[in-house]
Structure 1
Amino acid sequence: MEKQFNTRSMIFTLYGDYIRHYGNMIWIGSLIRLLKEFGHNEQSVRAAISRMSKQGWVQSEKRGNKSYYFLTEQGKARMDEAGRRIYQEESPSWDERWRILVYNIPEEKRNLRDQLRKELVWSGFGLLSNSCWITPNPLEEQVHRLIDKYDIASYVTLFDASYEGMNTSKSLVEKCWDLEDVNERYSQFIQEYSQKYYIDKNLIEKGEISDGTCFVKCASLVHQYRKFLFIDPNLPGELLPEKWLGDSAATLFSDYHELLQKPATRFFESVFE
């Protein structure tokens, strides 16, 4: 079977959707077996989990001659945040405040700056101007976690502010995020997955689809939808464009996920240790 998805991303998906609900820990043998369903070999699974361990997302524990991997506190926090955003049904409400984060990280720590940039985009911050990031969402907790993780308290300043112009809040949004592009991608997702949903609904009703196939389809669905966490800033409804497709995509995802979840979980439990 050809490998459709990056091994490390797929492991994140399995932790987020399954392993964290089963005590957060899995035997490496079970993980290898599960990822084999997606065309990943043992070598790539071991390499990916070792990289995740170096990055502080997971830790290993030996029991006899078996290695088990569990999410660290940092890993759990990321999975909880991702889970909240993936399974939320509608846009958050807005307190009409803006959080502004400004940093001044020295040139010799450029690598750190790049890491921080990626994390801020993932959390939903938008770049207003050089080293100045904004979000309408109350992300103070996430920011403090980032500051602790990278030990950068001396380089970062965080404000909670109101916007006094010179334009509308929506034009501020247009400056920081390309929501048209995000909307276009939601449109593609809806087209592709509504077709798949009806086909699979039919197959499941007739009992013509195996638990293993449902497991692959369910994890692939979550994997594709999870990509929106990297491009959709999860803005409050008041700040979204008129014909926003994010909520329709969320409903389709939720219906499709519910359809596949029971047989997929049965398969996961048959392999899990």
Structure 2
Amino acid sequence: MIKKPNTRSMIFTLYGDYIRRYGGEIWIGSLIELLEPFDHTEQAVRTAIYRMGKQNWLTSRKETNKSYYSLTKQGVKRMDEAASRIYRIEPGNWDGKWRMVHYSIPEENRHIRDEFRQELSWSGFGPLLNSVWVSPNELTSQVYDMVERYDIKEHVHLFVSENQGPKTDLDIIKQCWDIDFINERYKLFIEKNENKFIEDKKKIELGEYSEKDCFVKRTMLVHYYRKSLFIDPGLPKELLPNKWLGEEAAKLFDKYYKILEKPANIFFEKVFAKGYE
């Protein structure tokens, strides 16, 4: 049995896949209605929205008796970064350089240190040593954003370097990430969805799914596929193993997404428009 996604996580999915494409703002009544098919109550949505505001992901405005919520600058950056990885089909090329982050955040700020590590991991860094994280991708701006957000400038060093051995670049990859585990996750995604894609494609063509059905299916497809961001650093093609399934999974996701896209948008737009009537 698949565990129901938490409300905050689902709100991020809706902002990333829908709301940001429609001006980035939504009436909370529409948001509550959009989350109802996923068994999230009005109270759960309001609580999650409140907490996301406190965490500087969302900002609000009131117009007459309606409250509208939009992404903050920090939220927009996070959604743009996520989108660039979710909807990417082929891995990028490598410039041969490593980005290395070294930090020494005091013990009294352990909560900041823990959050900083989570942010590094989400962005695509891997732990080479306890307080030294590396990435083969150009993530300089992301690091500076994190440093500014947590106000830890005096505790962080960022280097751009080349590996001179004796370990190879592929050895570094194996040390920092469990590539076999990531590949297995992509294998499971493919096995779970390749037959479902064929079945759903036929049902859509026969008109057996409503626009709401397609909205639910597309939202859940994106939600679970984007979970790969938490474990896949998005390595360039030069550093991937020969039997890499990430590209195959991305192509399947893209095909599946496209058959659901138009009817799902129609349903979303109907609900979204209620906030501006």
Give TM class, smaller chain. Answer: over 0.9
What residue ranges of structure 2 are gaps of 5+ in the alignment?
none
SS at 1:164's partner residue?
coil
Contact 1:3–1:38 at 8 Å: present in 2 too? no
Residue correspondences, number: 272
Question: Which residue in 2 is equivalent to 1:91?
Answer: 91
Inter-partner Cα distance in structure 2 for 1:3 and 1:94: 37
CA deviation profile, 1:169-206 (whole Å, cap 9, x unmatched): 10110000001000000000001011111110010010
Matches within 5 A, 1:61-100: 61-100=61-100
Q: How does the TM-score come out when normalised to structure 1?
A: 0.98
Question: Which residue in 1 is equivalent to 2:135?
Answer: 135
In structure 1, give the amino acid aligned to 2:66.
K
Question: Which residue in 2 is equivalent to 1:270?
Answer: 270
In structure 2, give the amino acid aligned to 1:69.
Y
- Determine if the alignment matches structure 1 residue 4 to structure 2 residue 7: no
Matches within 5 A, 1:110-259: 110-259=110-259
In structure 2, give the amino acid aligned to 1:172.
I
Inter-partner Cα distance in structure 2 for 1:54 and 1:226: 24
How far did 1:3 drift?
7.8
From the superposition, tell whether residues 59 and 3 of structure 1 become closer, same or farther in structure 2 (CA, over 3 Å): farther
SS at 1:37's partner residue?
helix
Inter-partner Cα distance in structure 1 for 2:37 and 2:213: 9
Q: How does the TM-score come out when normalised to structure 2?
A: 0.97
Inter-partner Cα distance in structure 2 for 1:21 and 1:242: 36
How far did 1:37 drift?
1.2
Contact 1:3–1:39 at 8 Å: present in 2 too? no
Coordinate RMSD, CA, aligned: 1.0
Inter-partner Cα distance in structure 2 for 1:129 and 1:3: 33
Inter-partner Cα distance in structure 1 for 2:25 and 2:152: 31
SS at 2:62's partner residue?
strand
Inter-partner Cα distance in structure 1 for 2:265 and 2:137: 33
From the superposition, tell whether residues 3 and 126 of structure 1 become closer, same or farther in structure 2 (CA, over 3 Å): closer
CA deviation profile, 1:141-181 (whole Å, cap 9, x unmatched): 10011111111111000000000001211011000000100
In structure 1, give the amino acid aligned to 2:59.
Q
How far did 1:103 drift?
0.2
Inter-partner Cα distance in structure 2 for 1:167 and 1:82: 31
Inter-partner Cα distance in structure 2 for 1:66 and 1:239: 50
In structure 1, give the amino acid aligned to 2:266.
R
- Percent identical: 56
Contact 1:100–1:160 at 8 Å: present in 2 too? yes
How far did 1:269 drift?
0.5
Where in structure 1 do 4 or more consecutive aligned residues deviate above 4 Å?
none
From the superposition, tell whether residues 3 and 175 of structure 1 become closer, same or farther in structure 2 (CA, over 3 Å): closer
Question: Which residue in 1 is equivalent to 2:24?
Answer: 24
Inter-partner Cα distance in structure 2 for 1:159 and 1:46: 42
What residue ranges of structure 1 are gaps of 5+ in the alignment?
none
